[in-house]
Structure 1
């Protein structure tokens, strides 16, 4: 195990990041938000969310074939989609379902509050780990669209080759542990219980 829980992961990640002037930290709900909250505390930066939803293969939803996010961001891995024989109609159906959940979460977590202004600032995008990289890629594109001058993608754990699919999406890629033989993010946490909506709101409201 590398981390006791997400808060411990956030503190270790913050130490790896160092000082970042004029930063905004955005966490990917749900699991990335407790990590991001610890990073924001150490950096003395405001905390916001970046709502992204994985597009799972029908009948095998744990297998990601892409992701969508706020502002119309969309990433689809055609190799995975075609290998899983997912039709255009099936992909569209998955997107509709995830778009509804994305809107629900954005409303639930923001509660009518406006997003933190990102224009011209360094934005640190944080999740609790990377497996496929689809959601991280969508999140980086979202904050670019919102005017981030510089994007830092930061995670506690990711596969050894994780940078290969994300070059060009962020200006800086930061990871605490990059193990080989990567199976699942949760394998590197002693406590990896599902983060609740209430925990996300507590972190955002400070």
Structure 2
């Protein structure tokens, strides 16, 4: 599906979500910078909170696809496009490099967030959480969001 702009995409998605979720507790979580623009329209129509889940990709030298992502809690989520055998090989061969990258990426996220910048879990607890992005290259950001939301008791997870 193609849209004229991210704002247009948000308006069209909001039009589809409003009939079902207008009177329910919802929260919109953007997975990318462009997702914030899409999510802003949805949050405005649903009168709910909009927040962004910050993640940083960890890439191995010479690999086109990211090995994993680190989220703002420091959780490390592997890319599910790699097989278990490949992941074992990578983690064995590049263990020190991966650990260093984890620390550097987590530090970069903390630099961006500053104090009090983390997603408040109470804003998501018991809510329908709507994940938005302006496009997904792979399922890695969705996997990271699911990992982040796992300890929070949410009502429903909606991917828009």
| Partner residue, 1:74 | 76
Select the residue among 134, 137, 140 that pairs with 1:134.
Answer: 140
Question: What SS is found at the alignment partner of 1:71?
Answer: coil
Q: Which runs of 4+ in 1 moved over 4 A?
A: 80-86, 112-116
Question: CA distance change for structure 1 residues 86 and 139 in 2, over 3 Å: closer, same or farther?
Answer: farther
Between the aligned partners of 1:59 and 1:108, the Cα distance in structure 2 is 35
Gaps of 5+ in 2: none
Between the aligned partners of 2:139 and 2:50, the Cα distance in structure 1 is 22
Between the aligned partners of 2:126 and 2:76, the Cα distance in structure 1 is 23
Aligned length: 152
CA-based RMSD: 2.9
Which has the larger Rg? 2
| Partner residue, 2:37 | 34
Conserved in 2, the CA contact under 8 Å of 1:55 and 1:95?
yes
Question: CA distance change for structure 1 residues 123 and 113 in 2, over 3 Å: closer, same or farther?
Answer: closer
Question: CA distance change for structure 1 residues 97 and 31 in 2, over 3 Å: closer, same or farther?
Answer: farther
Looking at secondary structure, tell me which structure has more strand per residue.
1
Between the aligned partners of 1:25 and 1:113, the Cα distance in structure 2 is 11
TM-score (norm 2): 0.77
Residues 78-113 of structure 1: per-residue CA shift (max 9 Å, x gap): 536547996111211221221112212222893x89
Between the aligned partners of 2:150 and 2:62, the Cα distance in structure 1 is 33
Alignment of 1:1-206 (within 5 A): 2-18=2-18, 19-20=20-21, 21-60=24-63, 63-77=65-79, 78-79=82-83, 81=87, 82=89, 87-107=94-114, 110=117, 117-154=123-160
Gaps of 5+ in 1: 155-206
